[in-house]
Amino acid sequence: MTQNKLIVSNWKMNLKLSDSRILVKKIIKSSKIIKPHIKKIICPQFLLIPHISDLIKKTKICLGSQNCHYQESGAFTGESSIELLKKFKCKYVILGHSERRKYNAETNSMILKKIQTAFNHGLKPIVCIGETINLRKKNKYLEFLETQLHGSVPNMEEIIIAYEPIWSIGSGLIPSFSDILEINNFVKKYLYERKQLKKVSFLYGGSVSSKNIKGIIENSDIDGALIGGSSLNAEEILKIVSIFNFY
Ligand code: PEP
C-alpha cells in the first residue's frame, strides 16, 4: 500500500507578495499531477499567510506557519497567535527550526511548550532537529539528537519530525542515504519506545533538490521532505512532487 507522504515548503523570509502569488498559481495549475497520497504543505512568512490562504482555499494544498507562540495571547510583542493562524486555515506549524534556535535563542523547553500548545489547539507540529558538522565529525550526533528529542517532544499521540542537519541546510551537501536511514530508525525507535508515541512521521530536510530526492526516497524510507531553497522555484518543486508521486 502507498504510504502518505508530506512535502513541506519552507519559504523562510523569502518572496514578495507578487512572487508568492505567481509561485502558488503555478503550483495550483499543476496540482492535478499531485497524487492523493501526497500532502503538499506551504509554509510562508506570517504576512503572506492570509493571501496564500485565499489563493489555495479551493485546492487540496495545505497551509502551515513557520512559528507560533506558546501562549494564546498577551504581551508578546512581535509574535503571532495560534488563534489567528487557525483563522487563516493553517493546519501545520514548523517548530524548532535551527535558524530559530540560533537567531531567536529558542531552547528545547520553549519548543516543548510550543509543540504542546499547537497540538492542544489542533495545529500539527513539524518539529526540526539536527546536528552541527562538529558533532557529526566527533561522532556525537546521536547523543545530541536524543537530547533534542528528550527535551522538546512532549507526551502526545503523534508527531512529524524533520531531520535537518545544520551543515546541510542551504549548503548543497546532504548526508549519505544510509546516514539518513540511521537517523530515521533512531528517531522512530526513541519516540515509540521512550515516549510512547503512536505515530511518528520522519521527514528529511537540507538541500533537497529534484536531483537528489529520488535516491533519498528509495534508500532512506522517509515519509516526506522539508524543502527550503528548492521550494521557491515552481519548476523545481513540481519536479520534486512528480518524483514523490511514484512512491
Ligand atoms: C530548511 O532550512 O528548512 C531547508 C530545508 O533549507 P534548504 O532546503 O534550503 O537546505
pLDDT digits (tens, 9 = 90+) for 48-70: 999 999 999 999 999 999 999 99
Instruction: Out of 171, 173, 207, 210, give the residue to mutate to test ligand 1, the one with the largest number of ligand atoms within 8 Å of its CB.
Output: 207
Instruction: Name 112's Cβ contacts closer than 8 Å, sequence gap at least 6.
Output: 151, 152, 153, 154
- H/E run at residue 42: strand 38-43
What's the pLDDT score for residue 3?
84
Domain map (residue ranges) of the chain: 5-244
Which atom of ligand 1 approaches the CA of 171 most closely? 10
User: 23 pLDDT exceeds 70?
Assistant: yes
Domain 5-244 annotated CATH 3.90.1150.10 = no
What's the pLDDT score for residue 238?
96
Q: Stretch 94-115: mean pLDDT, rounded?
A: 97
Handedness of CA 6, 231, 146, 143 (dihedral sign): positive
- H/E run at residue 92: strand 90-95
In sequence order, what are the beta bridge partners of 162?
A: 128, 203
| 86 vs 53: CA distance, rounded Å | 10
Closest by Cα among 21, 63, 60 to 42: 63
What share of the chain has pLDDT > 90, as a percent? 97
Q: Please report which confidence band the pLDDT of residue 1 belongs to, taking 50, 70 and 90 as the band edges.
A: low
User: 181 pLDDT exceeds 90?
Assistant: yes
Q: Mean of the per-residue pLDDT values for the chain?
A: 96
Closest by Cα among 165, 193, 182 to 219: 182
Which atom of ligand 1 approaches the CA of 206 most closely? 10
pTM: 0.97
What does the longest C-alpha to C-alpha distance in the chain come to?
49
Lookup result for grid cell 529558542: 106
